[in-house]
Structure 1
Amino acid sequence: MDRDRIEYLWICYINQTCSKAEKREFFQLMNEESTAEVVRGLLGRSFEEERDEVALKPALRGQILFGIIEQPEEVLVEPSKRVRFYWGAIAASILLVASFSLYWFSLSSQQEHMEQSETSERQIYSKGNVATLSLDDGTLINLDDHHGGIKVQTSGIAYENGESIADVGESGATIKWQTITVPQGGYYQIELEDGTKVWLNASSSLRFPSSFKGTTERIVELNGEAYFDVSKRNQHNIAKPFIVRSEGHDVEVLGTQFNVEAYKGQSSYRTTLVEGKVKIKKNGVQRILTPGQQATVGDAIQVRSVDVQEYVAWKAGDFYLQGKHLGSLIPILERWYGVQIECTEEATIERVTLQVSRNKPLNAMLKILQESIGVNYRIQGNKVYITK
């Protein structure tokens, strides 16, 4: 018996490349008593390969089994009782391997389905009051999530209830700069030394001085999105322009409420005025905004009237869109829930009108989109897939 020949015919058969003559030879060799151990070895190897996802197809196992039992008469030779015993054992081995392999495949598929179901059903929430404070000397402080904000005072930085966080008093004429950073899914509030209140949205940071004393301007630096309620006068009762510096342009005010969206990497940045008056400046060009107007800063400064609520609703804890493309909501959801979203072009252009609390889990938000504009979604780990 030529073992190499049997293995060659075996490979040809499972790859369905056998000629008619080779197939006849294959079954003739399998009817010989001396081939039993070789065939069992090949079946065992097939099972081992299945666990590495190089499996002998169940249909082919069946063909081999029934090919042994129900071969054409001209192929079969009259077996002895001993040969019948061997083939009974081999047939049993084949059935055992096929059955166990089917169980293995079924169990693996079931586990995969359960994992996907568990992932899809897992509720994904935002992180809430989360931020870190980086001091001038490099000290990094994780702000307590039981507090909603901090205050900058002449004596240092404290939580809104007065509990001290850090002593950042002035050192001679040197002004110390601190940075508060809010991660994905978080938000935080800070009251600056002059009484100006700032609400920071997810994935945002604000660099600010410990004091505005001795300066002619009140300057802060923003990366991300923030709502400002600017105090007209600081504690020294001297009117000073308040300037928000972000991504190559300045927003200058005396006393007003406005929202700035200036995430790094965006093609343009928006300032939306709620009340008062602001001046937008870039490369020597400036534009004045009145309440209800928005400036979009890119290569140039463009001003238009907008529904202010759509751009400041996040401060009150809402998602708010009126007839906007779904594509405009995607980066907002990514920052708020800390996920990556892949959305097909067909789904991206769907128009969305909604007002929904940001306290809802992502799953509930996606369900609302599914019911309102007919998109489908799938959550897998940290990724969300949206299709139409």
Structure 2
Amino acid sequence: MNAERKDYYPLFKKYLDQTASEAEILEFMRFASDPANELLIHHFLVAIQDEQYSGHGLSEIQQEEILQEIFRSDSNSATFNGKTIKLKRLIIGIAALLLLAGGYLSLTNTPSRKNISFQQYTGNVKPGTNQATLTVENGKIITLTELPEGEFLRNQNLKIRKQQGGLLVYVPVDARQSERKIPAIHTLKTPAGGKFQLQLPDGTRVWLNASTTFSFPSSFVPGEPRKVSLEGEAYFEVASSIGKAGKVPFIVSTQNQEVEVLGTHFNIQAYTENDKTLTTLAEGSIRIHQQNQSSRKIRPGEQATVGRGAARQQIEIHQVDTSMALAWKNGLFKFKNAGIKQVMQEFSRWYAIDVAYEGKIPDLKFNGEVYRDMNATQALRLLSMASINFRVVQSVRNPEIKRIIITGSK
């Protein structure tokens, strides 16, 4: 723990224990109001959780008393060394972070916040981890989760090794062999509650989100288009490749579109249960080809939407906050005016939780972010803050999987 953390961590604990003086509260609020200290505040929360100071260790009455005290506070700001600090906003943010044990979430058009209640529920569903299976050319399925690090497959064309942090690396052995032989198709698949990374033979990096299937050739033929296919969600950092005729395109096919790139960074969300495919560009440029229809080029900061089935339409392009689309890769759930079905759909994939609804689905909008390394018990506390009834039961299909049943507003 560095010197700065040593200075402010005790103040943070005193604030939570309600033993801090007014001067100490102001000093800590000054520290917390600096965006540069956001990561340090998160570390404080993790440490507090380890010491059982978090909302997970507070009683239901204690939790409600803390929030009620915050929301009935008449003091909106205070001045410290000539600087006005929005105390109420900061305290609400910190309390929400504490009660969610590492994330924050607010609601729009919700009932009064003064009577927030917190339901207790059993079960502790862990967050997703690095887990995937790899299907190779002979149909053999390799469970990467259980595989030790190091090289595990080698032939005339390539060698494959598993590296630390859930990374699968394809290393070409002899490019001349690739020219003489049709490459085999390999498939990397993550389950619900899984994620994995892949480095293709050309150096392209791919991050796979939960419930994703990604198929690709075991090697790329020099000079020919590099074609892969995706079902689910993945982030790409495509390596540039030069052939005799110039730059070699990299093409990602989904159920209803093709994305053609030369070397760039982008995210594709193409889950089959969704009626739209979203392609978000972070860097470079790409062209979206809608099957048997039009094509459009998009630029950094833009998102292309392509409908499927009844939602089929022309390619729509909008300027977006790319951090929303890339949040999952950066370890976050991030929502903006998201309905409860969207929130629970993302939770379902990441925590491998079945979700069911009884009665009228609450018409609420969620805004904010939650860390994906939290367990489901902590993350789902946001539903209690939204005054939504729910219960957790064991899945009939698999006792290891929990089912969340949403039963509507209180």
Provide the rounded CA distance (Å) in 2 between the counterparts of 1:318 and 1:326: 17
Question: Which region of structure 1 is more displaced relative to structure 2, 350-359 or 337-346?
Answer: 337-346
Deviations 1:97-147 (Å, cap 9, x if unpaired)? xxxxxxxxxxxxxxxxxxxxxx94110013400000000111110003587
Q: Give the unaligned 5+ runs of structure 2.
A: 1-119, 395-401
Provide the rounded CA distance (Å) in 1 between the counterparts of 2:342 and 2:149: 28
Q: Which residue is equivalent to 2:95?
A: none
Q: Which residue is equivalent to 1:223?
A: 231
Deviations 1:39-71 (Å, cap 9, x if unpaired)? xxxxxxxxxxxxxxxxxxxxxxxxxxxxxxxxx
Q: CA deviation at 1:349?
A: 2.5
Q: Which residue is equivalent to 1:311?
A: 325
Q: 2:158 aligns with which of 155, 158, 177?
A: 155
Question: Does the residue aligned with 2:328 lie in a helix, a strand or coil?
Answer: helix
Q: CA deviation at 1:309?
A: 1.1
Q: 1:243 aligns with which of 251, 270, 286?
A: 251
Deviations 1:271-324 (Å, cap 9, x if unpaired)? 011111111001231011111111111112111112211111000111011222
Output the TM-score relative to the length of structure 1: 0.63
Q: Is the 8 A contact 1:327 1:348 kept in 2?
A: no
Q: Is the 8 A contact 1:251 1:281 kept in 2?
A: yes
Provide the rounded CA distance (Å) in 2 between the counterparts of 1:384 and 1:266: 20
Question: Does the residue aligned with 1:144 lie in a helix, a strand or coil?
Answer: helix
Counting aligned pairs with the same residue, the percent is: 32
Higher Rg: 1
Q: 2:305 aligns with which of 282, 296, 299?
A: 296
Q: Which residue is equivalent to 1:285?
A: 294
Matches within 5 A, 1:1-388: 120-144=121-145, 154-160=157-163, 172-233=180-241, 239-282=247-290, 283-298=292-307, 299-300=312-313, 301-343=315-357, 347-371=361-385, 373-381=386-394, 382-386=402-406, 387-388=408-409
Q: CA deviation at 1:240?
A: 0.7
Provide the rounded CA distance (Å) in 1 between the counterparts of 2:316 and 2:252: 18
Question: Which region of structure 1 is more displaced relative to structure 2, 162-171 or 232-241?
Answer: 162-171
When residues 344 and 290 of structure 1 are mapped into structure 2, their CA distance, relative to the original with a 3 A threshold, is farther
Provide the rounded CA distance (Å) in 1 between the counterparts of 2:150 and 2:337: 33
Deviations 1:217-253 (Å, cap 9, x if unpaired)? 1111101100001112269996211111010310111
Across the aligned residues of Structure 1 and Structure 2, the Cα RMSD in angstroms comes to 3.2
Provide the rounded CA distance (Å) in 2 between the counterparts of 1:150 and 1:271: 33
Q: Is the 8 A contact 2:190 2:213 kept in 1?
A: yes
Provide the rounded CA distance (Å) in 2 between the counterparts of 1:150 and 1:377: 46
When residues 338 and 309 of structure 1 are mapped into structure 2, their CA distance, relative to the original with a 3 A threshold, is same
Deviations 1:159-191 (Å, cap 9, x if unpaired)? 136999999985742211100000000000000
Provide the rounded CA distance (Å) in 2 between the counterparts of 1:305 and 1:122: 41
User: Structure 1: which amino acid aligns with 2:137?
Assistant: D
Size of the aligned set, in residue pairs, is: 269
When residues 377 and 235 of structure 1 are mapped into structure 2, their CA distance, relative to the original with a 3 A threshold, is farther
User: Structure 1: which amino acid aligns with 2:142?
Assistant: I
When residues 164 and 278 of structure 1 are mapped into structure 2, their CA distance, relative to the original with a 3 A threshold, is closer
When residues 151 and 198 of structure 1 are mapped into structure 2, their CA distance, relative to the original with a 3 A threshold, is farther
Q: CA deviation at 1:376?
A: 2.3
When residues 147 and 314 of structure 1 are mapped into structure 2, their CA distance, relative to the original with a 3 A threshold, is farther
Provide the rounded CA distance (Å) in 2 between the counterparts of 1:128 and 1:148: 16
Q: Is the 8 A contact 2:133 2:145 kept in 1?
A: no
Provide the rounded CA distance (Å) in 1 between the counterparts of 2:236 and 2:246: 19
Provide the rounded CA distance (Å) in 1 between the counterparts of 2:226 and 2:329: 23
Output the TM-score relative to the length of structure 2: 0.60
Q: CA deviation at 1:209?
A: 0.7
User: Structure 1: which amino acid aligns with 2:135?
Assistant: S
Q: Is the 8 A contact 1:326 1:351 kept in 2?
A: yes
Q: CA deviation at 1:360?
A: 0.8
Provide the rounded CA distance (Å) in 2 between the counterparts of 1:295 and 1:207: 22
Q: Is the 8 A contact 1:233 1:239 kept in 2?
A: yes
Q: Give the unaligned 5+ runs of structure 1.
A: 1-118
Provide the rounded CA distance (Å) in 2 between the counterparts of 1:290 and 1:313: 19
Provide the rounded CA distance (Å) in 2 between the counterparts of 1:293 and 1:151: 40
Q: Is the 8 A contact 1:377 1:384 kept in 2?
A: yes
Q: Which has the higher helix share?
A: 1
